[in-house]
Every structure is written in structure tokens, then in C-alpha cells.
């Protein structure tokens, strides 16, 4: 017994615990480590700067102290701006979802009418997704001017990129059996998409749509900071004028809106899926 253990142990010791990396792998690791160190040196705040900054926030006359108590005098205007933000998010998301469905069908393998169409549709979705919504907002502000219309268009494009990808993947993952059965009896492409594919992908569509709305509500606040309407514009003005108590009211209002949307979204997801 003891001999057997000894043999096992000696055999195991012949197997290296770690593989020696190749020269290329070794160099790559060194390069990655060097880049991380360089990034910290270039971009991360210095300790001294961080301490000064924290003092500015937490000092007795600092920003945090001036935020409380939050100012409620302009609460009606804040709530109206909040409503506008929510409306921007809803309108942009609904438009985005409407346009993303046909684009997702064109981009889905097995449903697209032609491989070239599929590649083009996928490319368009990827382009909409990779360009940040803030950039779209700036583009649309140039196009339609300052205000919520630019925000709605920016959210719409961002959501086409987001939902288009997930809609296409959800449809590709559906069971091919039902659509083959309908194809075998001579059903049209539209018929089998709407009869077999979409009903099966519906739970995934609902989940993606609700996430889109949550994402749009958070995103629409930031869009306001660059002038695309809503409460973000109010927040920027409050900070620009050093009205930190006003800013506190706005931040709390945003927090409550995002929380409410997430809770309702969770409830709907459980109810519908």
C-alpha cells in the first residue's frame, strides 16, 4: 500500500505543475503588464489629487454639505423635466424596438432573404451599437436642434443596435422544427416567421425590451447633459450655477425614477415570461 502511494507520488512528480510559457506568450504578458502600469500612470488620479478632491466634497463647506437639505422650491419644474426624460426614454425605446425587429429578421441566419442582406443588416446593427448614444445625441442636436427630439432619436438608434442584436440571436436560437414543418407545407417566409419563430422568441423579446427601457431611462439623463432635453439639462445648469442643493433634489428624483422603472420592469418580466 505504502509502495503504491510512493509510486503514485513519484509518477505525479514527473508531471510539471506549470507549463513553461513560450517566448511569444511571455512577451505578451510583459506587454500587457506594462500597458496596465502605463495606464495607471497616465490616467488614474494621483493620491495627492484624490485627497484634495475628497476634501472638496466632504469639507464642512464642501459640496456634500451644500447639497443638504435638498432644495424643493423648484420641485414642480424638476418633476416636469423628469417626466420629459421618461417620455424621451419611452418614445425612443418604442421607436427603436419597432425598427429593430425587421432589421433583426434581415440579420438572422436562416431568416434573412440573402447572405449579403444579412451581412449588411448585421453591419448596420453593429454600427448603431458601437457608436455611443452620447455621440448620436450630438449628431441629432446638430440635425434637429437642442431639446428632447434629439434625445428621442439618439435613444432610438442606440436601441436599434441593442435590441436588433438580441432579437436576431433570439430568433436564431428558436427550434427549427416548427418552421421546417410549415416550410414543408408551402408556407411563406413571412408566415413561418410570424407563426413559428416570433411566438417562440417572444419571452426573450420581452426581456430585451424591458432591459432596453431601463437602459434608456438611465441613458436619457446623461443625454440631457449635452443638451438633448430632459432632466439632464436641469442637472447641468444646477452644477454650473453651484446650486448643489438643487442638484441634490434632481439626483434623488433621478434615483427614484430609475429605481421605479427597474422594479416595474422586474415585475413585468416575472409576469410576462
Partner 1 sequence: MTGPAARSAPLQAGVAGAAPVVVVSGLVKRFGERTIIDKLDLAVADGTAVALIGANGTGKSTLLKCLVRLVEPSAGTIRMLGEEVTALEGRALARFRSGVGFVFQRHNLVPRLSALTNVVHGVQARAAGPRTWLQSLARGEVRDEALECLEAVGLADRAGQRADSLSGGQSQRVAIARMLMQRPRLVLADEPDASLDPKSGAEVMDLLYRLAKVQGLTLIVVSHRLEHAKDYSDRIVGLADGRVTLDERASDADPAVLRAFFDRPASPEQHHEGNA
Nearer to partner 1, 40 or 194 (CB): 194
Q: Please, what is the minimum distance in Å from the beta carbon of residue 104 to partner 1?
A: 18
Q: State how far the Cα of 70 lies from the Cα of 89, in Å rounded to an integer.
A: 26
Kindly state the cell numbers that stand for 223. 443625454
Q: How remote is the C-alpha of 24 from its chain's centroid?
A: 36
Q: Please, what is the minimum distance in Å from the beta carbon of residue 177 to partner 1?
A: 4
Kindly state the cell numbers that stand for 231. 432632466
Nearer to partner 1, 78 or 111 (CB): 111
**Residue 247: C-alpha distances to residues 156, 215, 218, 234, 250 (Å):** 28, 22, 17, 8, 5
Q: State how far the Cα of 148 lies from the Cα of 89, in Å rounded to an integer.
A: 10
Nearer to partner 1, 86 or 205 (CB): 205
Kindly state the cell numbers that stand for 107. 440579420
Q: State how far the Cα of 208 lies from the Cα of 265, in Å rounded to an integer.
A: 11
Q: Please, what is the minimum distance in Å from the beta carbon of residue 100 to partner 1?
A: 20
CA torsion angle for 103, 106, 109, 113 (degrees, to 10)?
A: 180
Nearer to partner 1, 197 or 254 (CB): 197
Nearer to partner 1, 86 or 167 (CB): 167
Q: Please, what is the minimum distance in Å from the beta carbon of residue 268 to partner 1?
A: 17
CA angle, 165 then 171 then 172, to 5°: 90
Q: Please, what is the minimum distance in Å from the beta carbon of residue 109 to partner 1?
A: 19
Q: Please, what is the minimum distance in Å from the beta carbon of residue 199 to partner 1?
A: 5
Nearer to partner 1, 241 or 273 (CB): 273
* Residues of this chain that bind partner 1 (CB under 8 A): 175, 177-178, 180-182, 184-188, 190-192, 194-196, 199-200, 202-203
Q: State how far the Cα of 182 lies from the Cα of 176, in Å rounded to an integer.
A: 10
Q: Please, what is the minimum distance in Å from the beta carbon of residue 2 to partner 1?
A: 52
- Output the CA torsion sign for 227, 151, 133, 144: negative
Nearer to partner 1, 76 or 186 (CB): 186
**Residue 182: C-alpha distances to residues 38, 165, 191, 256 (Å):** 59, 25, 8, 48
Query: Which residues have a Cβ under 8 Å from the Cβ of 72 and sit 6 or more positions away?
Result: 249
Kindly state the cell numbers that stand for 54. 475628497
Amino acid at each position: 500500500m505504502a509502495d503504491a502511494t510512493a509510486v503514485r507520488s513519484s509518477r505525479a512528480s514527473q508531471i510539471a505543475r506549470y507549463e513553461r510559457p513560450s517566448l511569444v506568450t511571455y512577451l505578451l504578458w510583459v506587454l500587457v503588464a506594462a500597458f496596465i502600469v502605463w495606464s495607471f500612470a497616465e490616467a488614474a488620479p494621483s493620491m495627492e489629487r484624490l485627497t484634495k478632491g475628497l476634501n472638496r466634497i466632504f469639507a464642512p463647506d464642501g459640496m456634500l454639505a451644500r447639497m443638504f437639505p435638498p432644495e424643493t422650491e423648484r420641485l414642480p419644474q424638476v418633476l416636469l423635466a423628469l417626466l420629459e426624460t421618461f417620455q424621451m426614454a419611452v418614445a425612443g425605446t418604442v421607436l427603436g424596438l419597432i425598427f429593430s425587429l425587421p432589421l433583426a429578421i434581415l440579420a438572422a441566419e436562416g431568416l434573412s432573404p440573402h447572405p449579403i442582406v444579412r451581412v449588411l443588416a448585421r453591419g448596420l446593427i453593429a454600427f448603431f451599437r458601437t457608436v455611443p448614444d452620447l455621440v448620436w445625441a450630438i449628431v441629432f442636436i446638430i440635425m434637429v436642434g437642442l431639446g428632447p427630439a434629439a434625445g428621442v432619436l439618439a435613444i432610438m438608434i442606440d436601441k436599434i443596435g441593442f435590441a436588433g442584436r438580441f432579437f436576431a440571436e433570439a430568433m436564431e436560437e428558436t427550434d427549427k422544427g416548427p418552421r421546417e414543418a410549415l416550410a414543408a407545407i408551402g408556407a411563406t417566409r413571412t408566415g413561418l416567421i410570424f407563426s413559428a419563430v416570433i411566438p417562440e422568441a417572444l419571452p426573450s423579446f420581452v426581456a430585451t425590451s424591458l432591459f432596453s427601457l431601463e437602459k434608456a431611462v438611465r441613458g436619457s439623463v446623461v443625454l440631457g447633459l449635452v443638451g438633448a432635453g430632459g432632466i439632464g439639462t436641469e442637472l447641468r445648469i444646477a452644477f454650473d450655477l453651484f446650486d448643489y442643493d438643487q442638484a441634490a433634489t434632481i439626483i434623488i428624483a433621478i434615483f427614484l425614477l430609475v429605481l421605479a422603472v427597474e422594479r416595474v420592469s422586474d415585475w413585468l418580466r416575472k409576469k410576462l415570461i
